[in-house]
Structure 1
């Protein structure tokens, strides 16, 4: 496990050698400059503006979501065509930027099990994926099946999902390789995956990893709806955490399952979660409370309201988890969230463990690019001069 460093050192890429005094010369990142920075963009029913996307600060954009209908990839929202045009136009600013469509998600994973059931139905889906990617001039497909072999959002699921998930991704990779040769380009395949052992027990990730460019590990939503407060995306496991969860624990479980380090892309949330009725013991950390639906806030809202002077919220830092949180003693409200400091720690973790990069849900949660800049600087310290 990496030693904990000061956020100043983290943000500017200054690594401290063991048993040595701090030095002020930045060192080269332990990951190559092509470490992925993947942003999910969830426009829903509005048309994106090119000016709202920092194209030069990401390597890949996953547009969420397409649906699965009649075993085919289908447009999910009314303005998908316009939005794909906007996103592909960003390559004028960043020619190396890749645009993928993400299929599924929490609410649109209902038809995956049926689609993946047979060779025939998988072929229908894969043919439609090639047509979809070609039509909109995309660079690949992200499969967000939540989750194989599990109910998810009241979805149909089967024991056979475990093997069929592997077959779907293998057959998709084979077809994309053939199509890529025809188009003279690499077509990307990636997956968004759960961070729990339960997910690993219902998949064959040691096999799956061979057929995807990256595994976007959703190391968030570990808390939410619980009867006590907790970090929903902590880096390390706090000794008092009753659920014993963390990003590090998820990564270690994936490695133990046979997944290679460079295939794992660590997921982070651009939003926080809140609880009410929380007593002041330990400033509310791991205390009983009521999970508040109206306190699912994106980082931009948290920064402009809860972190504003006079809000009544106090920011605390959990050194065991490398995570921040807010507590308002007057209203007994507790909020867990990510900020630039916690993401700097996670970027150093990614570098130190030779992971494939970082991804985040979801782009519009960080309108001023505070979090995105922290990821960029943390993964590539030489990018600090270009951050806003």
Structure 2
């Protein structure tokens, strides 16, 4: 037993409530999990080895630190793992289910051992939980894993760092508590988002430990602000294709950085140092940021805190003392879930990750947007960067997207996701917001046709655009709904039917002449002058200028022709305009 381990057990013997677990895996040592968990026999050997270590050293349990099932860690997730000796191929896609089997069989073996040894000590199982959705969704069946685990150490850190990938370009704190990123940044890169993800998946927070980094991350060769406003969010420039920087323990920061130049970011609740003259940036944790995280854990009824790592603290235990300055382990624990969880079980919003068309559709929302899997698209209530549907039909954040009269804030009230109708009440026969400028918000016989050649209507579910004006535009004003020739698609009477379609146009202007009529316009292919449709509620009159429409300018002038009154009128040559009654 090493000197350090001996000291740990010496302390544990003095404080009987202290439990000592050993961890297996880690960022640089997780590449073997896929093979070790691939079948029952391998898991059995692995579990027996774990139990042997526990018995030999007297540990109280184990922490499984698999980084990460399916996606990989330092060794990136590969499509297959080949074991040459047995000529077997294990797909990484089975990691998710094999992880559950590992914990289930580990718990069963621990229970057997406890019974066999008549021990009153229950061996502990914990696991390290990922922070990002791109890792959590494919690799972690949280509800099943937690059945067999006593707690989860959620690694709510390393959201930003000078990584070798393109994501290393953005400076920021390693563990921002709340969303504060510039526009077009994901809002899912915060401690709050990660803990909400776990809480809403499990509907319980008692087994969740919030991770706090006792270190900072720095960048070199840092350039301008990402949005021109916030000094914390900057863009680093690569050197030879890689971003320069690294990690520094809290205990070393005062010796290598000037703490007097610290700025505390009041939105993310994290400190940073920006040294323009050296083009270097440091994001880190200090007493204040740790205190905010402690308060957060208490407010959200979390199970506890986890630190990476204690040896990074200074000799005065500054950060540890802050983290333990308030009582978390009270006698009357509450199970109240202090998160607003989405009622949806499926995704109903457009994102950049959907398919090749998402450069155009990403972020569109509302009753004018193209449908997402048959639903009116909403905004992701869990992404504070894109949780509000603004008045122009795009998801975003800030007052312009969340606080305007027509804005919808799904984060503030996730139940708005269920506001009816969630699907169109009629067949979609209107131009959606991804249409061309010439088509968007147009309707009726004067508008461009839909792709199938039919006449566009207005969406009766759209509170802002359910009527078609006599000029062919959707809206909700009196000029769209109550004028002569206007059509209200929410009404079902015979004059304004909801299933409005264009009438037969075999001899009328609409098909061949694009809204023109009379001898001022070239003849149709039939050799006759185009007339206006006598059955149209909005275009049954030919104006003096030779356009079909309704109202006084089209029907009431001396040279106007009303084909509703005179459906059989035809022009003859030579023609002189006279009022026809």
Q: TM-score range by the shorter chain?
A: 0.7 to 0.9
From 184, 187, 198, the counterpart of 2:134: 198
Q: How many equivalent residue pairs?
A: 299
State how 1:241-320 maps to structure 2 within 5 Å.
242-244=185-187, 245-258=189-202, 260-279=204-223, 281=225, 282=229, 284-290=231-237, 294-308=245-259, 314-320=261-267
Match in the other structure for 1:170 = 104
| Alpha-carbon separation, structure 2, partners of 1:379 and 1:327 | 35
SS of residue paired to 1:231: coil
Match in the other structure for 1:102 = 23
Match in the other structure for 2:450 = none
Distance verdict in 2 for CA 1:295–1:119, change over 3 Å: closer
From 327, 331, 352, the counterpart of 2:278: 331
From 125, 131, 134, the counterpart of 2:52: 131
Aligned-residue offset at 1:83 = 3.7
2:176 aligned with 1:234, yes or no? yes
Q: Deviations over 1:110-141 (max 9, x none)?
A: 11001111111111111111111010011000
SS of residue paired to 1:215: strand
Match in the other structure for 2:289 = 342
| Alpha-carbon separation, structure 1, partners of 2:203 and 2:30 | 24
Match in the other structure for 1:145 = 66
Question: Contact 2:25–2:65 (CA<8 Å) still a contact in 1?
Answer: yes
2:292 aligned with 1:371, yes or no? no
Match in the other structure for 2:149 = 212
Match in the other structure for 2:12 = 91
State how 1:36-75 maps to structure 2 within 5 Å.
none
Query: Which of structures 1 and 2 has the larger relative contact order (alpha carbons within 8 angstroms, sep 6+)?
Result: 1
Q: Deviations over 1:204-225 (max 9, x none)?
A: 1011111111100001111112
Question: Contact 1:85–1:136 (CA<8 Å) still a contact in 2?
Answer: no
Match in the other structure for 1:47 = none
Question: Contact 1:280–1:332 (CA<8 Å) still a contact in 2?
Answer: no
Question: Contact 1:200–1:254 (CA<8 Å) still a contact in 2?
Answer: no
| Alpha-carbon separation, structure 1, partners of 2:126 and 2:173 | 27
Question: Contact 2:220–2:244 (CA<8 Å) still a contact in 1?
Answer: no
Distance verdict in 2 for CA 1:346–1:378, change over 3 Å: farther
SS of residue paired to 1:98: coil
Aligned-residue offset at 1:260 = 2.1
From 180, 189, 193, the counterpart of 2:114: 180
Aligned-residue offset at 1:188 = 0.6
Distance verdict in 2 for CA 1:381–1:180, change over 3 Å: closer
| Alpha-carbon separation, structure 2, partners of 1:377 and 1:303 | 23
Gaps of 5+ in 2: 82-90, 331-581
Question: Contact 1:344–1:378 (CA<8 Å) still a contact in 2?
Answer: no
Distance verdict in 2 for CA 1:319–1:305, change over 3 Å: same
TM-score, scaled relative to structure 2: 0.49
SS of residue paired to 1:265: strand
Distance verdict in 2 for CA 1:302–1:378, change over 3 Å: farther
Question: Contact 1:148–1:161 (CA<8 Å) still a contact in 2?
Answer: yes
Question: Contact 2:214–2:250 (CA<8 Å) still a contact in 1?
Answer: yes
Question: Contact 2:223–2:237 (CA<8 Å) still a contact in 1?
Answer: no
SS of residue paired to 1:221: coil
Segment drifting more, 222-231 vs 82-91: 82-91
| Alpha-carbon separation, structure 2, partners of 1:370 and 1:345 | 15
Question: Contact 2:219–2:245 (CA<8 Å) still a contact in 1?
Answer: no
Q: Which has the higher helix share?
A: 1
TM-score, scaled relative to structure 1: 0.72
Match in the other structure for 1:42 = none
Match in the other structure for 1:117 = 38
Question: Contact 2:12–2:20 (CA<8 Å) still a contact in 1?
Answer: no
SS of residue paired to 2:264: strand
| Alpha-carbon separation, structure 1, partners of 2:246 and 2:101 | 40
State how 1:22-41 maps to structure 2 within 5 Å.
none
Distance verdict in 2 for CA 1:380–1:215, change over 3 Å: closer
| Alpha-carbon separation, structure 2, partners of 1:184 and 1:231 | 44
Segment drifting more, 326-335 vs 114-123: 326-335
Q: Deviations over 1:24-65 (max 9, x none)?
A: xxxxxxxxxxxxxxxxxxxxxxxxxxxxxxxxxxxxxxxxxx
| Alpha-carbon separation, structure 2, partners of 1:213 and 1:280 | 45
Q: Which has the higher strand share?
A: 1
